Structure formats: C-alpha cells, structure tokens
Amino acid sequence: MPELNALLFDVDGTLADTERDGHRPAFNAAFQEAGLDWDWSVELYGDLLSVTGGKERIKYYLDRHNRGFKRPDNFDEFVAGLHKAKTRHYTRMMAEGAIPLRPGVERLLREARAAGLILGIATTTTPENVEVLLTHTLGKDSLNWFAVIAAGDVVPAKKPAPDIYLYAMEKLGLNPAVCFAFEDSQNGILSTRQAGLTTLITINDYTRDHDFTGAALVVDQMGEPGRPFKVLAGEARGAKLVDVSLVKTLHKEGARLAATA
Ligand code: XBP
Ligand code: MG
C-alpha cells in the first residue's frame, strides 16, 4: 500500500471563498475602469464559474451572455488587458485582507506540515493571486510551506483538464498514488480524477449542487474543534473535522479502490 506523501490543494473556493466577493468584484472594477457597462451579478457569476480561468471566463461571458458586444480587432490583447487590470484590483483587495481562509484550512496545513507531509498547490488562478492570499492570511513565510505552487497559464489546458495536477506532481517527482487532493467544484474533481487522485471536497454556495461523483468524501467545510463539518456524501468514519488521520484513512481506501478497479 503506497504511503501518503503529499497534499495538493485547490485555492479558489477551497482554501478561501474568493469567488463571490473577491474575483467577481475585481472583474467588475476592471470593466468599469475600461468604460464597459458589464456588471457580473452574484447569480450570473454562478454560471460564469462553469469556465475556469479569468481570460477564458471573459470570453465565455461574451459568447454566451453578451453577443451584441463588438469585439476589437486585437481581441486577445483586449481580454488580456482587462484581465491584467482585474488581477491588479484583486491583489489590492486581498492585500487589504478582504477574504480570510476557510475554517479549518490553517489548522490542517499546520498539522500536515508537522506530520511531515509535503504540501502543494494546483490552481487555475494567476500566481500573484495565490501569493497575496497566502502571505496576507498565513504570513510571508507560508509561501515556503508549499513545495510547488502550480498556477495559471503554466499549463494551457485549465481544469477540468488534469494538466495542472499532473504538472504539480511532476514538479514534486511524485505519482498520484502517494498524493491526496482537496477541491471544491465539479471542474476540480474532474481534473483530480483524471489525474488519478483521491479527492476530498469542501463545498461552497456556488458548488453545493455540483456533481462530485468519485469523491472520497464531500463535506461543507474542513471543520474546527467545536465546529464540526457536515457530511454531504461518503463516510467520515466518526471524524468531526478534516485532519491528517482522516485524510490518511481516506487515502488508504482510495488507493485500495484504485488498485482493484
Ligand atoms: C478558479 C478559477 C479562477 C478564478 C479567476 O478555479 O476559476 O479562474 O476564478 O482566476 P479553480 P484568474 O478553483 O478550479 O482552480 O482571473 O486569475 O484566472
Ligand atoms: Mg476551486
């Protein structure tokens, strides 16, 4: 039975609830600054989240929700410019402490480090966004907690493609049988499953109705002492929060399932 070596974390929706009050208003601020009358409501953004990656999301919005917009000749540059402005707004907001980590995340990260597990990140978001979130919630040194931060355009095919997880594992020199992933969305679990990873899901308001087929466990949050998680699918074996012991148990079972599949 391969032993658990590494935990791989998604960022948006998993480490922090960044989409509704972080990414969404940052997109809107960029649109306003560019003189566009586009305004992404909380509800519309739920549909836009079906596409990962900010530049990809802007294009999807125009294809699906704003077909009347006359695209400039240098369309890709135009989108890249809007996205650059969005990243500037987002990193400023996060540096002001706009969004905390989700419950139980810091506890689990610290516990995993103490247990000698390797930590990694696999996200579609822009690297600067990951850095600002980590440094403003866990301190500057926390960037060193992660042996790999795989983010953004480093792979061309974003989630649900498995590429970002495969890239992270390649950088770590580890195979999926010794890793365990944390996600919050359907695109996330499609990505981890294709990468061969056992996965725990913490849902959020945007993802609670997603299809999490193949997850080892689906809970509402990681949980803290005195603030237990709610189990939405799977078997938590009496655990009340996500800790290293539960992850090791789920990993063992995930590894066994993979071996007999
Ligand atoms: C996260 C995303 C990202 C952010 C925007 O997906 O979809 O696109 O919303 O980030 P996941 P950028 O959590 O599945 O990795 O604008 O920096 O691309
Ligand atoms: Mg996510």
Q: pLDDT digits over 45-100, tens only? A: 999 999 999 999 999 999 999 999 999 999 999 999 999 999 999 999 999 998 99
The question of whether 220 is a catalytic residue gets the answer no
Share of residues in the chain with pLDDT > 90 (%): 95
Query: What pLDDT, on a 0 to 100 scale, did the predictor assign at position 256?
Result: 62
Mean pLDDT of 18-40: 98
Mean pLDDT of 2-26: 97
Query: What pLDDT, on a 0 to 100 scale, did the predictor assign at position 261?
Result: 44
Q: Which residues line ligand 1 (CB under 6 A)?
A: 10-13, 19, 23, 52-54, 86-87, 123-126, 129, 159, 185, 187-188
Mean pLDDT of 178-182: 98
CA atoms of 239 and 148, how far apart (whole Å): 29
Give the residue from 158, 85, 147 showing the smallest Cα distance to 125: 158
Question: Domain locations in the chain?
Answer: 6-17+101-260, 19-95
Q: Which CATH number fits domain 6-17+101-260: 3.40.630.30, 3.20.20.70, 3.40.50.1000, 3.40.50.80?
A: 3.40.50.1000
Flag whether pLDDT at 123 surpasses 60: yes
Query: What pLDDT, on a 0 to 100 scale, did the predictor assign at position 254?
Result: 83
Mean pLDDT of 117-129: 97
Tell which atom from ligand 1 comes closest to the C-alpha of 57. 8
Flag whether pLDDT at 144 surpasses 70: yes
Pocket probe for ligand 1: among 23, 47, 203, the residue whose CB has the most ligand atoms within 8 Å is 23
Name the pTM for this structure: 0.96
Mean pLDDT of 106-121: 98
Angle at 166 between CA 77 and CA 88, to 5 degrees: 35
CATH of domain 19-95: 1.10.150.240
